[in-house]
Amino acid sequence: MQYHVNGTLRDRDEATVSVDDRGFRYGDAAFETCRAYGGEVFAWDRHVKRLHRTCETLGMADAVPDDLAVRVAETLDANDFEDAYVRVSVSRGVQPGKLTPEEDVDPTVVVYVKPLPRGGVDGERVWDDPAVVQSVQTRRIPDSAVPSDAKTHNYLNGILARLELRRASNEEYRPDEALLRDTNGYVAEGATSNLFFVDDGVLKTPETGSILPGITREVVIELAESEDFPVRTGRYTPDDIRNADEAFLTNSTWELRPIATLDGIEIGGGPLTTLLQRLYDERVERRCYANSR
Amino acid sequence: MQYHVNGTLRDRDEATVSVDDRGFRYGDAAFETCRAYGGEVFAWDRHVKRLHRTCETLGMADAVPDDLAVRVAETLDANDFEDAYVRVSVSRGVQPGKLTPEEDVDPTVVVYVKPLPRGGVDGERVWDDPAVVQSVQTRRIPDSAVPSDAKTHNYLNGILARLELRRASNEEYRPDEALLRDTNGYVAEGATSNLFFVDDGVLKTPETGSILPGITREVVIELAESEDFPVRTGRYTPDDIRNADEAFLTNSTWELRPIATLDGIEIGGGPLTTLLQRLYDERVERRCYANSR
């Protein structure tokens, strides 16, 4: 497997960064996780826009290289991948050993790929089963401490949430996503996913402010609105979700994944979830496979 | 300059980690910053204890290698450093590309050093002047999101605070430390330092719970108590600090650094700050230079 590191394709084993890279020392980096379908990255423009925004939040507005799309395409080509997971990381690079960043940035840019067979209309999902979701004690980092719309290498908040699942697991119960609440106790998001639920025909999802506004979340909201389904964003409690008619998680690799249970209480997908999955698959088909077929 | 990476001394230019190292991908790592004086690391046992605690919080209790002190000594020797900055990082290493950590950990262990002439009784301080401190909007990440006593590579909270200083700076005003409040508005700590102030003969410092309990902070409290000065920990507002008789910051490299101004209001050191600096210097002398002289 080959990655792209600072403009050069490298065998994965030789893809390294300096231990002085601020991405390693401080998690001082931005990233995006995308999916390529048929060699085309879905919603690429949106991902690049968010990557730019994160870099701007981190005070390195110009760190995203102009030829990023070319690097991604080269990496997919070099590995002969059509359907793939794609991660792009932009760190502040090596700077003198002080916490305060220098204005002059020589970023470290890494493109990671791995094969990921597509779901889609006729394909198979990444996940085997609907998600088993468990609320955790770890609270979502508030927007006032780290802007919630920045997607950064500081991912311990989500890792600590997932570690709680390890402790909660036993032979009969193996949750695979942790649901974090914000510091006020409202539902925020999963460790790597956004949450939706259906309540009396209305599609609901936590409002921005204490969540990462996911690209898949954005697309799902648009798809629902395009079919004239009412969509509401707001503040919800775990009980709101537990009492929902349907519920699902979204992220770029899972796409839409129904929630089997939350805290052991059955919810499951349903007609709206299935319809939105279908609409999402069709959009992927239309946007990504149009050229390759 | 040579670093120690996974048991081997490496030229700094060749000291690298995989881009798949979780330390790079997620800041999923613990660290300590220490100082060596006369070849001896000050308060080493306390630093190792905290490193173990951080690793335990991160669900990798056994990640700290038993021979860590030997690796540090080898690195100091290889560089012929007596008085030095020492940083030790322990990351969760390379694991399959999922956020949820595997229980089996093959950690990445890095020892960084650089020369750092000592302050001390007859020496010079690291810093040239007392600190110019500025309160920032960025709030300290609450304990409920990431345990505050864990010292990890997720350092964006402090970096974002320091970036605010960049925006606040002009030719006349160049703050060099950012003061973060907790989400309730109480004073927490600097981006890389703890804060003390003197109020009517009492030494005060924010209580644990939304601060990193610094090793230097711990030593300073012990030194004050050993001289029968009253010490109080509690919740304080920025106004409490601005009205203080003396104020100073602590960390392992700065040791004790008086605060010249907070938000432009003069505070400065004073007799108790100077006495505690002297007591700290004497302890360093006694603990670290005893063998070498």
DSSP of B172-229, one letter per residue? S----EEEEE-TTS-EEEESS-EEEEEETTEEEEEPTTSS---HHHHHHHHHHHHTT-
Model confidence band, residue B292 (pLDDT cutoffs 50, 70, 90): low
Q: What's the gap in Å between the CA of A228 and the closest CA on chain B? A: 36
- What is the value of ipTM here, to two decimals? 0.96
Whether the per-residue pLDDT at A101 is higher than 50: the answer is yes
User: How big is the CA angle at B94 (ends B92 and B100), to the nearest 5 degrees?
Assistant: 65
Say how far apart CA A117 and CA A35 lie, in whole Å: 10
CB B175 within 8 A of CB B166: no
Query: Each residue of B274-286: pLDDT tens digit?
Result: 999 999 999 999 9
Residue B76: pLDDT over 90? yes
Smallest Cα–Cα separation from A50: which of A159, A193, A191, A152?
A: A152
- Residue A104: CB atoms within 10 A of its CB come to 8
Beta strand A131-139 with A177-181 is parallel
Confidence (pLDDT) at B181 = 98
pLDDT band for position B170 (50/70/90)?
very high
Question: Which CA distances in Å does A278 have to A37, A259, A286?
Answer: 16, 17, 12
Q: How deeply is B266 buried, as exposed, middle or buried, from its count of CB atoms within 10 A (0-12, 13-18, 19+)? A: exposed
What is the mean predicted confidence (pLDDT) over A106-121? Answer: 87
State mean pLDDT over B224-252: 97
Output the pLDDT for position A142.
98
Q: Among residues 189-208 of chain B, which lie with CB inside 8 Å of chain A?
A: 191-192
- Whether the CB-CB separation of A250 and A256 falls below 8 Å is answered with yes
Decide if pLDDT at B34 tops 90.
Answer: yes
Which of B16, B18, B99 shows the shortest C-beta gap to A158? B99
pLDDT digits (tens, 9 = 90+) for A139-188: 999 999 999 999 999 999 999 999 999 988 999 999 999 999 999 999 99
Query: Which residues of chain A are within 8 Å of residue B154 when distances are taken between CB atoms?
Result: 26-27, 154-157
d(CA B180, CA B190): 6
The verdict on a CB contact (< 8 Å) between B144 and A141 is: no
CA distances from B26 to A85, A107, A151, A160, B153 (A): 17, 17, 11, 12, 8
Q: Which of B16, B155, B166 is nearest residue A19 as measured by Cβ atoms?
A: B16
Q: What is the DSSP letter of B60?
A: -
Convert the pLDDT of each residue in B79-104 to its tens digit.
999 999 999 999 999 998 799 999 99
Instruction: Give CA torsion, residues A10, A15, A19, A22, to 10 deg.
Output: 80
Residues of A in contact with B29 (CB under 8 A): 24
**Over residues B224-234, mean pLDDT:** 97
From the CB of residue B161, how many other CB atoms can be counted at a distance below 10 Å? 27
CA-nearest residue to B6 within chain A is: A19
Does A158 sit within 8 Å of B154, measured CB to CB? no
* Cβ contact, residue pair B59, A5, below 8 Å: no
Cβ of A159 within 8 Å of Cβ of B99? The answer is yes
Nearest 5°: the CA angle B224, B161, A152 is 125
- Among residues B257, B196, B254, B255, the alpha carbon closest in space to that of B230 is found at B196
CA distance B90 to B65: 9
Q: Residue B120 has what pLDDT?
A: 52
Q: Which of A149, A146, A144, A143 is nearest to A213 (CA)?
A: A149
Question: What per-residue confidence (pLDDT) applies to A293?
Answer: 45
Confidence of residue B259 (pLDDT cuts 50, 70, 90): very high
The Cα B19–Cα B17 span in angstroms is: 6
Q: Which of residues 130-189 of A touch B (CB under 8 A)?
A: 137-142, 144-147, 152-160, 162-163, 165-166, 183
Contact A21 B26 (CB under 8 A): no
Residue B162 has its nearest CB partner, among A17, A99, A152, at: A99
Q: Do B142 and A139 touch (CB under 8 A)?
A: yes
Considering CB atoms only, which of B19, B101, B166 is closest to A15? B19
CA distance B179 to B177: 7
Using an 8 Å CB-CB cutoff, list chain B residues near A3. 19
Backbone angles phi, psi at A198, to 5 degrees: -115, 125
